[in-house]
């Protein structure tokens, strides 16, 4: 259809109306973007400062709206103290359950320790510690998460797969506590603005709002570094069984974490297992269908114990529980009785459930798109724009 205008005035009016409509639709879309509350610090000693010379605004507690360059939080003789950069002599005693909000005057980043964050900060003064929670839009958060979880130089389709998985995982965590998600490997790594790059921003923008669903609900989009050849069934690592988190073939052989070993001395074993006097032997009681250790019997000088492979991994500080064991005689003085150290031979890194990041990299390098990668690692899922009823 071709529109004809009687004069330039009519034409300008239509263009103006179209511009307003587009602007309003974008504003409405942006306003609907979910916000995420990320725990970035849990400490009693903390330094917060502005980016360059742009001031910060602090509100709440003693302050209605105060401009500052920076502040320091300290624990002094069981007192939580706050003071500002300009007047270090004036100190404020913080009380339990106080809350503060900090934002940048023009929306620039805020330094928390050695990391810079966008959005605003919520500070919660608790009995044992001070929590710092970064509040920002999910898409800005993700452009940092993708760069924190996966090297930005990796293929763009792998980064896009990570963006969709991370968006799903984060939205699944939203709740009514002081924060939604942790910024460490406990949930997913978030290192702030310095982890954002052109490629991570592109990966997030090109997948904007897309999430993984199963029966119209967000999935528990777990991921890990490398499975060691086969991903794991969720029920073989934790109690819950999710149909979409079933074991599948991985493509992660070309990575430095595929095979590894760790040597542990006899003295270290005594420190790790003091109740049974160290370790003389480990018996693998049962393994998963992929070969990961499920349960072991530990035999020491003073007796024995049984623990799961997941607990053993944490205790020994192992990359995964896809492991086997070998004891060796330590070289000691001839006058002393021989002692046994332990060598752990392992494969992969992480819990092994869900998407393998190294596997995603391989598939992307072979031309696979993000959707195909995700549907390989998460069985029977759909990829859709996020809606609140998916929660």
pTM: 0.88
Predicted confidence band of residue 218 (pLDDT cuts 50, 70, 90):
very high
* Beta bridge partners of residue 36, listed in sequence order: 136
* Residue 247 to residue 243: CA distance in whole angstroms: 10
Length of the chain: 391
The string of pLDDT tens digits covering residues 173-207 is: 998 789 999 999 999 999 999 999 999 999 999 99
Distances (CA, A) of 247 to 135, 255, 308: 35, 20, 20
> Do residues 73 and 80 lie in contact, with contact meaning Cβ atoms separated by under 8 Å?
yes
The string of pLDDT tens digits covering residues 125-164 is: 988 889 999 999 999 999 999 999 999 999 999 999 999 9
The string of pLDDT tens digits covering residues 278-310 is: 999 999 999 999 999 999 999 999 999 999 999
Q: What secondary structure, in 3-state letters, does 34-49 show?
A: CEEEEEEEEECCEEEE
Provide the 8-state DSSP code for 150: S
In which region does residue 338 sit, left (phi positive, over 0), alpha (psi from -120 to 50) or beta (all else)?
beta
- Residue 28 has a pLDDT of 42
Output Rg (C-alpha) for the chain, integer angstroms: 26
Predicted confidence band of residue 62 (pLDDT cuts 50, 70, 90):
confident
- Residue 53 has a pLDDT of 78
Predicted confidence band of residue 4 (pLDDT cuts 50, 70, 90):
low
């Amino acid at each position: 259809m071709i529109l004809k205008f009687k004069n330039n005035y009519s034409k300008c009016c239509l263009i103006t109306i179209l511009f307003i409509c587009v602007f309003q639709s974008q504003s409405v879309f942006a306003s609907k973007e979910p916000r995420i509350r990320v725990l970035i610090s849990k400490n009693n000693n903390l330094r917060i400062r502005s980016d360059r010379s742009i001031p910060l605004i602090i509100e709440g507690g003693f302050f209605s709206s105060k401009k500052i360059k920076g502040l320091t939080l300290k624990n002094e003789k069981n007192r939580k103290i706050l003071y500002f950069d300009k007047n270090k002599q004036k100190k404020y005693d913080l009380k339990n359950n106080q809350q503060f909000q900090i934002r940048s005057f023009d929306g620039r980043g805020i330094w928390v320790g050695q990391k810079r964050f966008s959005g605003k900060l919520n500070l919660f003064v608790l009995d044992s510690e001070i929590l710092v929670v970064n509040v920002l839009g999910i898409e800005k958060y993700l452009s940092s998460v993708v760069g924190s979880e996966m090297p930005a130089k990796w293929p763009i389709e792998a980064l896009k797969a990570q963006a969709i998985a991370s968006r799903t995982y984060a939205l699944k965590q939203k709740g009514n506590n002081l924060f939604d998600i942790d910024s460490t490997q406990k949930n997913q790594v978030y290192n702030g603005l310095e982890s954002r790059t052109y490629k991570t921003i592109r990966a997030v923008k090109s997948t904007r709002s897309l999430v993984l669903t199963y029966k119209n609900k967000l999935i528990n989009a777990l991921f890990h570094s490398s499975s060691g050849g086969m991903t794991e069934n969720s029920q073989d690592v934790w109690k819950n069984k999710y149909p979409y988190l079933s074991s599948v073939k991985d493509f992660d052989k070309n990575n430095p974490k595929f095979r590894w070993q760790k040597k542990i001395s006899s003295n270290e074993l005594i420190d790790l297992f003091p109740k049974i006097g160290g370790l003389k032997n480990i018996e693998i009681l049962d393994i998963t269908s992929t070969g990961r250790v499920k349960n072991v019997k530990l035999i020491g000088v003073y007796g024995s114990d049984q623990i799961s492979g997941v607990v053993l991994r944490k205790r020994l500080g192992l990359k995964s529980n896809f492991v086997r064991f070998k004891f060796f005689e330590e070289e000691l003085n001839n006058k002393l009785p021989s002692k046994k150290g332990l060598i752990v031979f392992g494969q992969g890194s992480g819990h092994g459930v869900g998407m393998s990041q190294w596997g995603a990299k391989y598939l992307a390098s072979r031309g696979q798109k993000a959707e195909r990668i995700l549907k390989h690692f998460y069985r029977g899922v759909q990829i859709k724009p996020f809606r609140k009823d998916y929660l």
